[in-house]
Amino acid sequence: MDEPENIRNIAIAAHVDHGKCVSGDARVSLADGPPLPARELFEDVRETGEPRPDEDEAYEPSEPLGVASFDRTEDEMVAADIEYACRREADDPLVALRTSNGHVMETTPEHRYLVLTERGVMEFERADGIEEGDVVVGARKTPARSSGSAKTGLLRELATDYGFYVDVTGTFAERIDAHDRDALYEATDSELKRDSFDHAIWRGQFRLRDIVSVCESFDIPLADLYESVESLNYRGSDRRGEHSSLAVDLPDDLEPLFYLAGAFFGDGDVQGSITNDDPEMKALIEESADALGLETIVREFDERGDRIEVGGKTLTRLLQAAFEYPAEEKSASIRVPEFVFEADRAHAAAFVRGYMDADGTVEENRSAVSVYSASPGMLEDLQLLLYQFDVASKLNRSNTTLYVSGQLSLANFAEIGFGLSRKQERFETLLDAASAADVDRVPISGETLREVREDVGATQTDIFESYDSYETDHVGLTKQSVGRVADRFAQLDEDPTDVRIERLQRLARADTSFV
């Protein structure tokens, strides 16, 4: 931990007397959704939960609500259910901390952090007792469960905007028409007049919100609706509608949509175009657009970047409704969408890949993959999203750039990779030569190793060649090296229950970073 100034990205919901009170802006990583500010999470629990007896401003969730949590018995990150959430006015000024990997957080003075001692023991320390140079135990891996099908999730996201229309197959329209018309109309709470709604059934062309409401009311799976959609169009929310825009096909595989969204977040504008000169990038965008039934038009310019026009109002509105794409001032306001946090790994990876193809860099000098953004919030979100892939990173707030380095993180980042061949080739070269990075360090003393080694009756050369450099503190320990040392200790130790060796082995796990 260094420069205790700004902190904000981890939170725990619990009672004030438990020493786990954080600011309302502190973000809680949900097990099946986006990280939420503690204030918003509390409000959600209060709205749907039950008051806790004999306690003010404390509520128990009405159903299990999983958040990322650290299991101290196994020293690993798990999904754990919130028992209750509460809100209190702080009696004393909050304590602000910043960790070496760029996270920022504010807590009450009595909030307890886990810190790592030189002996490799994790101990609790009050926030007001932490000093510059202390080592805080942080997460580098968070549990993530997809909240459901990306296809049905997309329909629900788009249904929040009444301007979307869908054309469905005749078979599906007949399936809808088999129900009582009065009951159908009542279920939709439609803004259409009754005769217009009847006409929609006859034509097989519905306001998306109306047909989603019908499906949910009559237990028709949204997956069936998705498979029956022939085209998606945006015409506005006025009863008479606007002129049709270019229709979008809903593909069987949504990864191209997620990739295209990521590319828009990197190089897109708010008019539906992407600026990029790379011929391969143009081809990747064209391929993704083609999967949605859209064509691209490339406008080439001599004195500025080429403009790739993709789709029209329907695609633009889709990006705004499902991916929270800004309608104005895009660069400084983008954030990783909730829809991406809720997606499975393949779809989330496709979004990040598109974003990194557009804005990401492979830096040989830094031995890192990096991405700059004018939106610090985008990088904060991306750092948290990458934890779902077991990828640790460092956020440099002075130049608003996120860096991924070190063999462990780069190896896991390979699941995402790059679509652009030149970036992918440079990444693979970087990965082949990668060593440990700062985020991989395990700052325990060589004296701790010496005591264990002597107790198992081994010499320095019994461990492995060059081991002595760790014991003399000439070379710092990392996740990889401490794991190698601990495993060798375990091989030589006649006592299989030595807690010190087990502790070293747990420190080597990828669940934590020591920041």
Give one word for 445, left, alpha or beta, with left for phi > 0 and alpha for psi -120 to 50: beta
Q: What is the number of domains present in the chain?
A: 4
Are 355 and 499 in a shared domain? no
Query: What band does 90 get if pLDDT is binned at 50, 70 and 90?
Result: confident
Write down which residue in 139, 168, 201 finishes a domain: 139
- Overall average pLDDT of the 173-200 stretch: 93
Give the model confidence (pLDDT) of 424-452 as tens digits.
999 999 999 999 899 999 999 999 999 99
CA distance 348 to 342: 8
Q: What CATH number is given to the structural domain containing 505?
A: 1.10.260
**Whose CA is closest to 212, among 267, 157, 155?**
155
Are 312 and 374 in a shared domain? yes
Give the model confidence (pLDDT) of 435-494 as tens digits.
989 999 999 999 999 999 999 999 999 999 999 999 999 999 999 999 999 999 999 998
> Does 198 reside within a domain?
yes
Give the model confidence (pLDDT) of 127-158 as tens digits.
999 999 999 999 988 887 777 799 999 999 99
- Overall average pLDDT of the 316-336 stretch: 96
CA distance 47 to 41: 10
More reliable by pLDDT, 454 or 30? 454
Q: Which residues contact 31 (CB under 8 A, 6 or more apart)?
A: 66, 67, 68, 79, 143, 144, 145
Are 36 and 90 in a shared domain? yes
Are 452 and 470 in a shared domain? yes
Check whether 238 has a pLDDT greater than 80: no
pLDDT of residue 495: 85
Are 124 and 212 in a shared domain? no
pLDDT of residue 21: 86
Query: What band does 239 get if pLDDT is binned at 50, 70 and 90?
Result: low
> Does 62 reside within a domain?
yes
AA letter at 9? N
DSSP 206: E
Q: With H, G, I as helix, E, B as strand and everything else as coil, classify residue 73.
A: coil
Phi and psi dihedrals of 123, rounded to 5?
-130, 155
Check whether 344 has a pLDDT greater than 70: yes
Write down which residue in 187, 204, 234 finishes a domain: 234
Q: With H, G, I as helix, E, B as strand and everything else as coil, classify residue 114.
A: strand
Query: What band does 7 get if pLDDT is binned at 50, 70 and 90?
Result: very low
> Does 79 reside within a domain?
yes
- Overall average pLDDT of the 223-228 stretch: 98
**Whose CA is closest to 165, among 222, 234, 99?**
234
Are 392 and 421 in a shared domain? yes
CA distance 250 to 264: 18
> Does 88 reside within a domain?
yes
The residue to which tokens 């059934």 are assigned: 201
Are 282 and 368 in a shared domain? yes
Are 349 and 398 in a shared domain? yes
Are 123 and 160 in a shared domain? no
Write down which residue in 432, 456, 473 finishes a domain: 432
Q: Which helix (H) or strand (E) holds 326?
A: none
The answer to whether 330 and 268 have CB atoms below 8 angstroms apart is yes
pLDDT of residue 400: 97
Tell me, letter by letter, the H, E, C secondary structure of 421-482.
HHHHHHHHHHHHCCCCCHHHECCCCHHHHHHHHHHCCCCHHHHCCCCHHHHCCCCCCEHHHH
Query: What band does 398 get if pLDDT is binned at 50, 70 and 90?
Result: very high
The answer to whether 184 and 214 have CB atoms below 8 angstroms apart is yes
Phi and psi dihedrals of 154, rounded to 5?
-65, -45
Domain span at residue 401 reads 255-432
pLDDT of residue 242: 59
Are 396 and 474 in a shared domain? no
Mean pLDDT of the chain: 92
The reported pTM is 0.91
Distances (CA, A) of 465 to 82, 128, 137, 468, 470: 48, 43, 30, 8, 11
The answer to whether 420 and 391 have CB atoms below 8 angstroms apart is no
